[in-house]
Structure 1
């Protein structure tokens, strides 16, 4: 395993569409291991292959919950709720910045695991935010493209919600 350099906004690779993985070979296995090491070293919740300079449809997500590390190859959103949630987001490729983004409250994602087995992930809340954020990277989209202005009243409501969740 080797830690890889995280590409920073302005790097053209972050704006390109990733190609589908056609075979889970040694290179993909090595990419997954390197991405895992890079993700944990950076203390992130998710990492997409373009963020380490590889234009392949590969994503890792670890919400630090009982699900553990999820390795997704060729992930596709097959269902998403019409209900949206507004959350603050940051990104390893956009350091020292954050912004509010609206994303679906619930998602269903189909993907291949590292063994080539088809999987289905149903997620809601902040896990849905994280998965949606990482899948955007595969299409050259950064969260900063989706940031919305938040008025003072909404900001106060969000802060109250965060306080309640922390207590």
Structure 2
């Protein structure tokens, strides 16, 4: 496995919708690279397109900075259900370093996905895990946090990023 460069906004690949992972794709190697790169960054989640892999795969480990590692890899994830309750939260992105934005998202989600071995899973995620997973799922759909902002907040974030970047 390897620590790879993380693509930075406004790289066009971060705007692309990713293709599903096929049965014959070597997804285990990609997942290893995603974890190595995420931990080195250091981040709590990382999606395929952030390392130039345009496949529907991402990894998260929300609590590792405060406790033991609890890594989870998501292959071909699908949102099954979302909370009607929306909450604001501050998010940072490894592809937009130096910028944090307030994003409104559902408080909980139910997600279906496969793991590296092709086993199917479905689970409800709450709070920080739900936020992180939604953030990474956005990456698979060509969306970054800046695109969730109203025009005034987006202009400020873009200006801040120009200075930070």
TM-score range, shorter chain: 0.7 to 0.9
Q: Which runs of 5+ in 2 are unaligned?
A: 154-165
Residue number in structure 1 paired with 2:163:
none
Residue number in structure 2 paired with 1:131:
133
**Stretch moving more, 86-95 or 66-75:** 66-75
Aligned residues: 149
- Is residue 40 of structure 2 the alignment partner of residue 38 of structure 1? no
Residue number in structure 2 paired with 1:101:
103
The C-alpha deviation readout for 1:13-58, integer Å capped at 9, x for no partner, is 0000000011154x31111111110000001000000000010000
Q: TM (normalized to structure 2)?
A: 0.86
Q: TM (normalized to structure 1)?
A: 0.85
Query: 2:32, 2:125 → 1: CA distance?
Result: 24
Q: Which has the larger radius of gyration?
A: 1
Query: 1:63, 1:73 → 2: CA distance?
Result: 17
| Residues 51-90 of structure 1 aligned to structure 2 (within 5 Å) | 51-64=50-63, 68-90=70-92
Q: Which runs of 5+ in 1 are unaligned?
A: 151-167
Quote the RMSD (CA, aligned, Å).
1.6
Query: 1:83, 1:39 → 2: CA distance?
Result: 29
Shift of residue 121, structure 1, vs aligned partner: 2.4
